[in-house]
Structure 1
């Protein structure tokens, strides 16, 4: 309990530091804000088969993208950077330090994700017309999306030894975002791409947020012509279970392998890259 409470304090301190650093906050806001601007420019386009604005239809997918990028990849990046500078090794050397460390990191990244999502969502509601929001459903889907994606971020941060090695993962996630119906209805894509998109949580989180923010008539643009609430809950629930099974085991393995020699080797590699 002491370690968990220390993690709560650590998470709050880290979140406060990010939110009071204009450069960091702008960095996290840049991609979703730029995407919202692009959709606003395209607001005159319509969803195929309807008269509904394509820009408005894309907003929930942008919010889902924010959860994936800020939550999952942000946590993975934080873990790899702390491995490089020895922060994680110091946490390992403290009794129950890993519990406090992981608790703080998860809470800080979850809090940042919610703040960025709220800012983008408020801006989108002011810029776009046609929303029919159920805020309770939005909150529920956001919470489920965070629980489904944050453990994956912990797994990625444990598997990759430095921030640069995550660049390929970032590119793959961006490609996944494109085929997950964020910018254009997934039903307009080839069927095999639709099946690929449905394997991963980004599609299901986007679908759930669309069902919470858009009129029911827009379900016609989705696979099967419905919001598929049960399938959404089942798919994201499966990712939650997978993440909570994998993350503790991978984090324990990573912690066991951390040593002064491994940190020194990473610092040498960083020095060589910057030389």
Structure 2
């Protein structure tokens, strides 16, 4: 299977994108891979420090690899939003295909420095490296603050760091949206013209389909989705559990798994039509 960097190059040639979905346990992992298999498409499996703290790094990595093999899907394992270079090194040792160093809340000089260090760290592993530039609100942070990624800064950042993928701030945010987001597609187009890096859209949950498709046509190659998976899984369980006396977890979870699978199949189909 080709590396994620090679996959991004192929996507760029065809003006396409990959969905990148966070998993939290076996149930969400299987839902993601079932959706990718049903749509006959590649997928990026994302885990954060919180998931690794919950499952353990070895279990997270080996569970993902075993599931990828079982469902026979082209999939890449990605460490999402890591701030600790020690965790990144451990993830690389555990066989991750891709890692993200998120120093976006630090001064840009620090962000550039630590990102370059991670790029050098990842080279012996052949791993993809993603960074973030600009302000993309995280859970609990204000969505009113504006610090969009600027084309000239993106160009300088990528040239200095050698990073493979860059998450850009163009109007998206992590978590739930208070109002419909409005992506700055013109700015995105300008960033694309300035850098060869694969551009990444964080906060993909809740963005209208037509905006996602326009973003893909203007350089987005990776679209992160997490909130819709957690929300859909848990709401389905909340709806079903009061109606059942079942104590066998293996009979309780499939409804929630199916909900997430159907959700992601629709999203994958929408992404592929862009």
Q: Select the structure that is richer in strand.
A: 2
What is the TM-score of this pair, normalised by structure 2?
0.23
What is the TM-score of this pair, normalised by structure 1?
0.23
**Larger RCO, structures 1/2 (Cα 8 Å, 6+ apart):** 1
Q: Select the structure that is richer in helix.
A: 1
